[in-house]
């Protein structure tokens, strides 16, 4: 029987690549719903491509359309925190969630993962790094995982000098050297905030303490993560830099299906390079690591909201690339350790709202 699929954020980079996988596996899936925020023409094209029965613009229609649609798996391809409540409601319904939206897990992972577990649902990561960890842990008891090490490309500007970073344009920051990604995540990759957020995400997805999480720079983007086990064995997942591979793994799980992606050609020579992030070179990553070590969900919500606001301002040409870190740091300094830990999703959203208000005030003073 075909699995009924909803794609939330169908017109973005992940949404389009999800359509590739769905189109390549027509006997396995029935796309019952696709959504986009406001690009109606692109949404109509996306719906036609995958034969979706329903489509909705979330700028006009509440995402409650999800609760009115019978689905087996929801691909959360939209970026940003605006979808937190909807992801939580899906988790409560016991639906399999293929999650590419890291912001919802960073801010509300505690509640989303608990709701999914209670309802008998399943959360399968789509980020290549978390998909790699998920695959490496398969068949191994979690208690034997001594450390999770995520890999990072180092972003588009890993070889830039401080003077060059001051001149970075939006166009440069949104063109990742290895991956086809959306604008926000490409900027996060360039600042390495993305890797810090992914470490926080892994903390909740895999229920692992902060001191067992780390990241290394890996410019080739072929090894997507390592799991170090208590006997000192290390498992890694290797694949080409193509998001359709983790998307296909999430859609087909526990089976493996056609991803349309080109595999690694082992008949050709290649090098794999790994080194730790250079201290002081990636201040956004260091801010995120500090929040991770503090292990307070309230501060993770603040970090996430502040970063979204700062990146949005950069994309709108209101601040420079190197100013992103300064804005996030100012918001953190103002809000850090200020809030009690949230007791529910409403508490998460309230901290998120108040942080964005503070970020707006700081940006207006810039």
**pLDDT tens for each residue of 216-240:** 999 999 999 999 999 999 999 999 9
For 170-182, what is each residue's pLDDT tens digit? 999 888 777 677 8
For 148-160, what is each residue's pLDDT tens digit? 999 999 887 888 8
Fold: same for 3-125 and 296-366: no
Q: 112 and 87 in contact (C-beta within 8 Å)?
A: yes
Task: Give pairs for 35-44: CB < 8 Å, separation 24+.
Answer: 35/6, 35/7, 35/8, 35/9, 35/10, 35/63, 35/65, 35/78, 36/9, 36/10, 36/11, 36/12, 37/9, 37/78, 39/11, 42/11, 43/10, 43/11
Average pLDDT over residues 188-192: 92
Give dist(CA 335, CA 302) in Å, integer: 7
Predicted pLDDT of residue 365? 87
Question: Where does the pLDDT of residue 60 fall: very low under 50, low under 70, confident under 90, or very high at 90 and above?
Answer: confident
Instruction: State the residue for tokens 């810090």.
Output: 196
* Coarse DSSP helix, strand, coil percentages of the chain, rounded to the nearest 5 percent: 50, 15, 35
Tokens representing 338 are 């200020």
Superfamily name with CATH number, domain 3-125: NAD(P)-binding Rossmann-like Domain (3.40.50.720)
Distance of CA 171 to the CA centre of its chain: 21
Predicted pLDDT of residue 237? 98
Average pLDDT over residues 349-365: 95
Predicted pLDDT of residue 179? 67
Average pLDDT over residues 16-31: 96
For 295-309, what is each residue's pLDDT tens digit? 999 999 999 999 999
Predicted pLDDT of residue 161? 84
Question: Where does the pLDDT of residue 145 fall: very low under 50, low under 70, confident under 90, or very high at 90 and above?
Answer: very high
Predicted pLDDT of residue 68? 78
Average pLDDT over residues 57-83: 87
Give dist(CA 273, CA 299) in Å, integer: 33
CATH class label, 296-366: mainly alpha
Nearest to 129 by CA among 212, 216, 210, 187: 216
What is the rounded end-to-end Cα distance, in angstroms, of the chain? Answer: 56
Of residues 59 and 268, more confidence is placed in: 268
Helix (H, G, I), strand (E, B) or coil at 178: coil
Average of per-residue pLDDT values in the chain? 94
Predicted pLDDT of residue 159? 81
Question: Where does the pLDDT of residue 244 fall: very low under 50, low under 70, confident under 90, or very high at 90 and above?
Answer: very high
Backbone dihedral region of 10: left (phi > 0), alpha (psi from -120 to 50 degrees) or beta? alpha
Domains of the chain by residue range? 3-125, 128-240+274-293, 296-366
Predicted pLDDT of residue 212? 98
Predicted pLDDT of residue 12? 92
* pLDDT above 70 for 357: yes
Predicted pLDDT of residue 325? 95
Residue 276 sits at φ, ψ, to 5 deg, of -70, 150
């Amino acid at each position: 029987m075909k699995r009924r699929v909803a794609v939330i954020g169908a017109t973005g980079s992940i949404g389009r690549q999800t359509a590739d996988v769905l189109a390549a596996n027509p006997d396995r899936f029935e796309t019952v719903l696709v959504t986009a925020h406001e690009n109606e023409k692109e949404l109509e094209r996306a719906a036609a491509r995958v034969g979706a029965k329903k489509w909705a613009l979330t700028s006009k229609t509440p995402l409650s359309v999800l609760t009115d649609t019978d689905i087996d798996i929801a691909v959360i391809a939209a970026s940003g925190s605006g979808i937190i409540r909807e992801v939580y409601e899906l988790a409560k319904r016991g639906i399999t969630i293929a999650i590419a939206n890291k912001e919802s897990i960073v801010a509300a992972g505690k509640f989303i993962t608990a709701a999914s577990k209670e309802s008998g649902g399943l959360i399968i990561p789509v980020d290549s790094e978390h998909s790699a960890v998920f695959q490496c842990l398969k068949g191994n008891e979690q208690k034997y995982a001594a450390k999770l090490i995520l890999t990072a490309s180092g972003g588009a500007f890993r070889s830039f000098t401080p003077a060059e970073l001051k001149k970075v344009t939006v166009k440069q920051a949104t063109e990742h050297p290895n991956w086809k990604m959306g604008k926000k995540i490409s900027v996060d990759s360039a600042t390495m905030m993305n890797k810090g957020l992914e470490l926080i995400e892994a903390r909740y997805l895999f229920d692992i303490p902060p001191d067992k999480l780390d990241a290394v720079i890996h410019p080739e983007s072929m090894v997507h993560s390592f799991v170090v086990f208590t006997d000192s064995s290390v498992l890694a997942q290797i694949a080409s830099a193509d998001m359709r591979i983790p998307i296909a793994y999430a859609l087909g799980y526990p089976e493996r299906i056609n991803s349309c992606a080109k595999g690694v050609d082992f008949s050709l020579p290649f090098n794999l390079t790994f080194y730790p992030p250079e201290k002081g070179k990636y201040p956004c990553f260091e801010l995120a690591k500090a929040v991770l070590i503090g292990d307070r969900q309230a501060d993770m919500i603040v970090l996430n909201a502040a970063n979204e606001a700062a990146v949005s301002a950069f994309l709108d040409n209101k601040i420079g690339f190197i100013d992103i870190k300064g804005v996030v740091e100012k918001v953190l300094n103002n809000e850090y350790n200020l809030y009690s830990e949230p007791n529910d999703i409403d508490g998460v959203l309230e901290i998120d709202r108040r942080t964005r208000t503070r970020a707006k005030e700081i940006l207006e003073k810039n």
